[in-house]
Amino acid sequence: MHIEEIIKTNNLPVSKKVVVSLLFSYSIINSKLNDVLKPHDISIQQFNVLRILRGQKGVPATLATVQDRMINKMSNTTRLIDKLIKKGYVEKEINNKNKRKIDITITGKGLAFLDDIDILIDSTEQDIVKTLSNNEAQELIRLLGKIRLIAN
């Protein structure tokens, strides 16, 4: 279905169609992923923090490192980490070398949670792109990369 039909308008310039299509698609994807995570009492942003920390392979991350790798740069990373600490998924402690920095690590409970939820997320991501061939998916990745170059 064309974006103009969805939002019930016509004669949009191509640039507006692209941007509206991206935003509308983001909303759908975000909603589907939230539906998977909501029963587990975790947000997409919290999930992203856990994946970043898992990627550290046991090496503590600083707040700046986590913020730098976040998909949504507008997130309040300190608040997200505090919520994950309350859930027992993350620990933080003062850095031994620099007392002004905080070391953040994922706990065993956080790793176990990711092991469980990864299957659901992977399945949802596959479901989202199932109408695309592998070549179409690669082309979409390439085109989105071109847009990101201009947007940054």
Arithmetic mean of pLDDT over the chain: 90
pLDDT at 38 over 80: yes
The Cβ of residue 11 has, within 10 Å, a number of other Cβ atoms equal to 6
* 36 located within any domain: no
Cα 140–chain centre separation: 18
Flag whether 138 is in a domain.
yes
The reported pTM is 0.85
DSSP 97: S
Instruction: Calculate what percentage of the chain has a pLDDT beyond 90.
Output: 66
More confident residue, 75 or 27: 27
* pLDDT tens-digit map of 53-91: 999 998 999 988 999 999 887 768 899 999 999 999 999
Q: Evaluate whether residue 131 is within a structural domain.
A: yes
Mean pLDDT of 36-60: 95
Instruction: Write out pLDDT tens, residues 90-101.
Output: 999 988 888 888
Q: Which residues have CB under 8 Å from 18's CB, separation 6+?
A: 147
Classify residue 145: in a domain, yes or no. yes
pLDDT tens string 3-17: 766 776 777 888 888
Confidence at 48, pLDDT banded by 50, 70, 90: very high
How many structural domains does the chain have? 1
CATH of the domain at 102: 1.10.10.10
Question: Residue 68: enclosing H or E segment and its boundaries?
Answer: helix 63-69
Output the pLDDT for position 1: 60
Report residue 98 as tokens: 């620099």
Other beta carbons within 10 angstroms of residue 63's beta carbon come to 15
C-alpha span between 127 and 1 (Å, rounded): 18
CB atoms near residue 140 (< 10 Å): 12
* Separation of CA 145 from chain center: 16
How far does CA 129 lie from the centroid of its chain?
16
Task: Decide if 137 is inside a domain.
Answer: yes
Distance from C-alpha of 111 to C-alpha of 115, rounded to nearest angstrom: 6
Domain that holds residue 130: 43-151
Segment among 39-43, 91-95, 135-139 with least mean pLDDT? 91-95
Q: Please give the pLDDT value at position 122.
A: 96
